[in-house]
Amino acid sequence: MVRLKADATSEGRLKAAPTAASTAPAIVAVMCGLIVFVDGFDAQAMGYVAPALSAALHIPRAVLGPVISSGLVGMMIGALVSGSLADRIGRRPVLIGCTVIFGVGSLLTATAQSVQVLVIYRALTGLGMGGAMPNAIALTSELMPRRRRGSSVTMMICGFSLGAAVGGFVAASIIPRFGWQSVFIAGGTAPILIAAASFLWLPDSVRQRARGLPVAQLFTEGRGVATVLIWIVYFMNLLNLYFLSSWLPTIISDDGVPVSTAIRLTALFQISGIGGAIVLGLILDRFFSFWVLAACYLWAAISVLLIGASGASMLMLGVTIAFAGWGIIGGQNGGHAVTADFYPTMMRSTGVGWALGIGRIGSITGPVLGGWLLASGTPVGQVFWAAAIPAMIATLAATGLAIRQRSHSVAQRTAQM
């Protein structure tokens, strides 16, 4: 039988923690939010320092590609490994450990003097970043009251986007004064301080732990098809997110929009995503269903198509790009909340971690696909048609999950009659 709700009784039993159970949800929201904030800061740091780093170390910008990719690969491995580990020994120690790892990795990056060393240190940093995210999601999900779970998880995850945005302002202000290394020093010091605070105040998850191989349990008790559909949703949506984030300024500037304006419009994509996540979280508090995600991804597909039809109209581009960010980024954050709730406590970190790990493959594929489309001379309109396809596939996968969710609910009510 497909299980689509967490065990309410196990959710209420907190493991002995350094704080009172009544204050645990607030502490979890704050501490996990801070962790994903610095996670987002470090995730975008290389992009912000790339010009200064390239000039200082005399490294061609094209050669920095493997450095950026190594961080994404590290994030993928971290997400896949940390979830299963956390389901065995607990969310708290793995989350704190991963935060320390990416803090140390960032500090080491500040000492690098060659591409080879940069690749190693960014892979280490990515390992910690990728491992922190699924455990922050799982811990927040299971310690939050169900009536506020959707909004709590989505708002906590918004810390990632905020951290990435703040990183740009910080980098712009400190690189001219202290050099590119200062960004990684800031990005390494903050996680270690937050990890120390988490060690003192962050409560652990419920007592229930996984037995056997947690990954294999994702496919037991009728969860196999749903797990594959969740992986499809994550892969397709993160492919789309990174495809647009990487190439949107280039695509629309090639279509006649000034470069500075194209960059601002792409920033609007990220900012509107935060707004979309907040609204979607409030909707999920009332209607906690995969149907909400299906509608969100359909909205995203239509919005992406309309970007291609907007031409050089600033108004139309602004509206359609904002709507696309609302659907894609908002849908991704909302998807974390629904996915975490889908899996039982004993395998929650594994479920979210593997979904994110599979999704990271999409995040690596997206920029490559976009580069191939642009290099082949694909017209702008067709590029956005291509970008709408992953959103439609995510819509269909989320619809399949919603149908299975409804069928399971009907079967449960019938069994109780």
| pLDDT on residue 93 | 93
Query: What value does the mean pLDDT take over residues 322-341?
Result: 92
Q: Cβ distance 275 to 330 under 8 Å? A: yes
Average pLDDT, the chain: 84
Query: What value does the mean pLDDT take over residues 232-256?
Result: 86
d(CA 137, CA 108): 27
| pLDDT on residue 152 | 86
Give the domain 18-209 fold. Answer: Growth Hormone; Chain: A; (1.20.1250)
Per-domain boundaries in the chain: 18-209, 210-417
d(CA 161, CA 36): 9
Question: What is the CA angle 167-169-173, rounded to 5?
Answer: 115
| pLDDT on residue 196 | 95
d(CA 130, CA 245): 19
- Whether 141 shows a pLDDT value over 90: the answer reads no
Strand partners, 14: 206
| pLDDT on residue 161 | 83
- Residue 50: φ, ψ to 5°: -55, -50
Residue that is written with structure tokens 């909302």 in the block: 334
Are 18-209 and 210-417 equal in CATH topology?
A: yes
Task: Give residue 13's pLDDT band: very low, low, confident or very high (50, 70, 90).
Answer: very low
Query: What value does the mean pLDDT take over residues 142-150?
Result: 81
- Kindly report, residue by residue over 285-295, the tens digit of the pLDDT: 888 889 999 99
| Number of residues that make up the chain | 417
| pLDDT on residue 222 | 85
Give the domain 210-417 fold. Answer: Growth Hormone; Chain: A; (1.20.1250)
Task: Give residue 268's pLDDT band: very low, low, confident or very high (50, 70, 90).
Answer: confident
d(CA 39, CA 51): 21
Task: Give residue 381's pLDDT band: very low, low, confident or very high (50, 70, 90).
Answer: confident
- Kindly report, residue by residue over 270-321, the tens digit of the pLDDT: 888 888 898 998 899 888 889 999 999 999 999 999 998 888 788 899 999 9
Provide the b/e sequence for 60-80 (b: ≥16 CB within 10 Å): eeeebeebbbbbbbbbbbbbb
Better-predicted residue by pLDDT, 231 or 161: 231
d(CA 236, CA 129): 21
| pLDDT on residue 206 | 62
Query: What value does the mean pLDDT take over residues 329-353?
Result: 90
Closest CA to 114 of 73, 71, 61, 58: 58
